[in-house]
């Protein structure tokens, strides 16, 4: 080679090396990691998960990190990262994919299982062939068990022949029994191997979320990165155990009923339970103007009871991470941190986590609904509940160590009294009957008028005084052709809009009292009156 050609080759080599170096400098190092969960904030719908790990930049100040093992339902717009000074997030991409490492592991395990399945089938085939051989020999012995021909056999020879036939048949039957048992065991082993193979199939096809994060910063820089993101398939609810003593003091124990179905277990992770929901973006929402309207209410209080018969199973009521549960609607944003470390499975298993004890002062009372039941409903009333950060939720009620049942607690308006039902009390009773001798009906012109009178008798069979409330009702009209007028209220309070009639009483030990009320209804004589 002449000198000019040699110089040209050297120049092209230098240029090629330079371009190769530039290409390498433009690439970022990629690392696949599974950062552990460091903290979780659980909302009434959704949860914020925090993970952390160390990142070391290259000599060019670049690094690509693939964080795997995440939930599938993640809003990439809600990703947050803490970055050191001089660091920046070049880009971030979220995708749902299978785990390559898991696929490789599943492939190796399935190859071993395939080998075991092959050996199992070969062994089973050998045992089956031996079974056929034993079966044919047994058939041959049975076919030749009789002595034929004119030869005379001695008794000893005949006995020896019988002993041989018996011993060989027994030996063959035992061997065949052992073979059957061994083949059954091989069948069970094959079923287990196929199940394990299918489990690895399911595992290798499982999908997971992955964040690909590209960082830039100082050359060879090292930083502990903390990332947080919001998952949708998680929620928590307040549940309570409430024990009421004879004085009316209430001891409540608050628990968090929590569920998450993200695919990652929260083992020993610091948890915070927050009332409210995570923000859907970092931009503030547009406030909605609040308007107040009036509608007719048929409820006697600001809230209603829901008995255990109307609830779902206490350990797993209808809310679930599969479908977004309804938030509590609390105006305040309370947060609760459990005192002890807990484990929450990522497969949707519900856990009840102890949070705190709550002490409330209360007064015992009875509610009588004579139109529905002879027995009274015992209640405990507390007015200091707003200071305890109570939330709506299921309550298991105990008195004197006896489980009385459960109900779903709904909170009254601030300033109203919280009532906890304790069940029926058969020693505070009532009866309700229509006084027929004081009922009348008459016709005047084109109208018919009917008069109805009722008597309620209330009885306290305790050897102590009781506070009680008796509730009944005077019918209300749904038509301008029907006029309802109260005749007597028996000292009760009447709500003209709802028709509710109530008495607040104090009954002494073993005292009985009578309450009477009546009303008059006028309606067209050619019409029939319903609902009386």
The CA distance from 467 to 428, in Å, is: 10
If one counts every other C-beta atom within 10 angstroms of the C-beta of residue 397, the result is: 23
Torsion (CA) 283, 289, 295, 298 in degrees, nearest 10? 30
In angstroms, rounded to a whole number, what is the distance separating the alpha carbons of residues 274 and 188?
Answer: 50
Give the per-residue pLDDT at 174.
87
Containing 420, the helix (H) or strand (E) segment is strand 418-434
Model pLDDT, residue 221: 94
Q: How many CB atoms lie within 10 A of CB 430?
A: 22
- CA count, 13 A, side-chain hemisphere, 503: 21
Residue whose entry in the numeric block shows the structure tokens 């209330």: 458
Mean pLDDT score of the chain: 82
In this predicted model, what pLDDT tens digit does every residue of 491-517 receive, in sequence order?
999 998 888 999 999 999 999 999 999
Residue 43's pLDDT is 92
Write down the pLDDT at residue 334: 80
pLDDT tens column, 393-425: 999 999 888 898 899 998 888 889 999 999 888
pLDDT at 332: 57
Q: Quote the pLDDT of residue 317.
A: 44
pLDDT tens digits, 128-156 = 888 888 888 888 877 776 555 555 545 56
CA distance 332 to 386: 11
d(CA 494, CA 97): 67
Residue 297 — pLDDT band, cuts 50, 70, 90?
very low
pLDDT in tens, 419-474: 999 988 899 999 999 999 888 888 888 888 989 999 999 999 999 999 999 999 99
Q: Cβ distance 390 to 239 under 8 Å?
A: no
Q: Is the dihedral of CA 21, 27, 31, 37 positive or negative?
A: positive
Integer Cα distance of 277 and 154 in angstroms: 101
Cross-strand bridge partners of residue 450 = 441, 521
Among 385, 390, 129, smallest CA distance to 275 is for: 390
Query: Does residue 291 surpass a pLDDT of 90?
Result: no
Annotate 238-282 with DSSP letters as a single string. Answer: EEEEEEE-TT--EEEEEEEEEEE-SSS-EES--EEEESS---SSS
Burial class (CB in 10 A: 0-12, 13-18, 19+), 48: buried
- Residue 258: is its pLDDT beyond 90? yes
Tens digit of pLDDT for each residue in 363-378?
999 999 998 889 999 9
Burial track 431-467 (b if 16+ CB lie within 10 A, e otherwise): ebeeeeeeeeeeeeeeebbeebbbbbebbbeeeeebe
More confident residue, 526 or 267: 267
Q: Which residues pair with 266 in a beta bridge?
A: 344
pLDDT in tens, 182-206: 999 999 999 998 888 888 877 777 7
Give 208's Cβ-side CA count (13 Å radius).
21
- Which pLDDT does position 81 carry in this prediction? 93
Q: Which two tokens stand for residue 195?
A: 């199940």
What is the number of other CB atoms lying within 10 angstroms of the CB of residue 385?
24
Check whether 103 has a pLDDT greater than 50.
Answer: yes
What is the average pLDDT across 379-395? 90
């Amino acid at each position: 080679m002449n000198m000019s050609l040699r110089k040209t080759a050297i120049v092209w080599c230098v240029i090629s090396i330079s371009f190769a170096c530039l290409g390498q400098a433009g690439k970022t190092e990629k690392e696949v990691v599974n950062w552990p969960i460091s903290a979780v904030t659980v909302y009434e719908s959704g949860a914020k998960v925090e993970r952390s790990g160390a990142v070391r930049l290259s000599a060019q100040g670049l690094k690509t990190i693939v964080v795997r093992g995440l939930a599938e339902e993640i809003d990439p717009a809600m990703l947050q990262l803490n970055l050191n000074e001089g660091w920046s997030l070049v880009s971030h991409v979220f995708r749902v994919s299978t785990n390559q490492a898991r696929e490789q592991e599943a492939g190796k395990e399935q190859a071993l299982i395939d080998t075991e399945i092959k050996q199992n089938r070969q062994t089973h085939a050998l045992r089956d062939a031996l079974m056929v051989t034993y079966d044919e020999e047994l058939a041959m012995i049975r076919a030749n068990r009789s002595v034929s021909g004119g030869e005379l056999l001695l008794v000893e020879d005949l006995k020896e022949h019988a002993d041989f036939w018996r011993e060989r048949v027994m030996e063959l039957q035992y061997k065949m029994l052992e073979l059957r048992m061994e083949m059954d065991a091989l069948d069970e082993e094959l079923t287990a191997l196929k199940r394990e193979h299918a489990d690895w199939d399911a595992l290798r096809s499982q999908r997971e979320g992955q964040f690909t994060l590209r960082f830039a910063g100082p050359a060879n820089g090292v930083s502990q990165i903390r990332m947080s993101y919001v998952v949708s398939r998680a929620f928590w609810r307040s549940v309570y155990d409430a024990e009421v003593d004879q004085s009316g003091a209430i001891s409540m124990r608050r628990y968090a009923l929590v569920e998450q179905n993200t695919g990652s277990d929260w083992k020993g992770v610091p948890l915070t339970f927050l009332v409210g929901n995570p923000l859907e973006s970092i931009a503030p929402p547009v406030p909605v103007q609040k308007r107040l309207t009036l509608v007719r209410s048929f409820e006697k209080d600001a809230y209603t009871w829901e008995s255990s018969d109307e609830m779902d199973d206490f350990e797993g009521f209808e809310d679930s991470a599969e479908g977004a549960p309804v938030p509590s609607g609390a105006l305040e944003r309370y947060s609760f941190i459990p005192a002890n470390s807990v484990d929450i499975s990522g497969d949707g298993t519900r856990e009840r986590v102890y949070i705190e004890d709550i002490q409330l002062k209360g007064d015992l009372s009875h509610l009588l609904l004579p139109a529905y039941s002879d027995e009274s409903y015992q209640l405990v009333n507390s007015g200091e509940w707003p200071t305890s950060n109570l939330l709506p939720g299921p309550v298991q009620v105990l008195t004197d160590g006896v489980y009385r049942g459960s109900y779903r607690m709904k909170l009254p308006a601030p300033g109203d009294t919280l009532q906890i039902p304790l069940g029926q009390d058969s020693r505070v009773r009532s009866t309700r009957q229509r006084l027929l001798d004081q009922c009348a009906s008459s016709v005047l012109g084109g109208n018919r008028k009917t008069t109805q009178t009722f008597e309620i008798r209330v009885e306290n069979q305790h050897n102590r005084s009781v506070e009680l409330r008796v509730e009944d009702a005077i019918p209300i009209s749904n038509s301008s052709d029907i006029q309802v007028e109260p005749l007597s209220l028996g000292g009760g309070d009447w709500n003209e809009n709802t028709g509710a009639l109530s008495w607040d009483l104090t009954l002494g030990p073993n005292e009985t009292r009578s309450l009477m009320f009546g009303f008059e209804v006028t309606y067209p004589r050619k019409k029939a009156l319903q609902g009386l």
